[in-house]
Amino acid sequence: MGKSTQLRDIIYDEKNVFLNLGKKKSDNKAIRKSDGRMTYQPVMNEILDIIIKWVGDSQNPFDLYRDFYELNEKHNYGNEVYDHSTQNVVKAMLSLTTK
């Protein structure tokens, strides 16, 4: 798996935690047991607002990750849990945001 694929997957995982109302892959042995495409419209609108703002602002993938991360924190959903090496990538992504 390339670095860009790993970064993209981490961002997708954080987005999907929100779209699935806090359900994480790490809760069920790498299976989320829900589908973000079936989420409620107000939830989808909240993600859409973040993406529109991100496209108009920085387009830095680390900023997008931080926005999803903070959104999950705001709703008390927590964040995806990773192994030690991936957790280091997550910490680096959070430190590389422009905010």
Which pLDDT belongs to residue 29? 63
How high is the pLDDT of residue 22?
A: 86
Q: Which amino acid is at 14?
A: E
pTM: 0.83
Query: In whole angstroms, what separates CA 85 from the centre of its chain?
Result: 17
> How far apart, in whole angstroms, are the C-alpha atoms of residue 62 and residue 43?
21
What local confidence, expressed as pLDDT, does residue 31 receive?
61
Q: Return the pLDDT at 73.
A: 94
φ/ψ of 56, rounded to 5, equals -75, -20
Cβ 11 vs Cβ 71: under 8 Å? no
Pure H helices in the chain: 3-19, 41-56, 61-74, 84-95
- Can you list the residues of the chain whose pLDDT is less than 70? 1, 26-35, 99
CA 95 to chain centre: 15
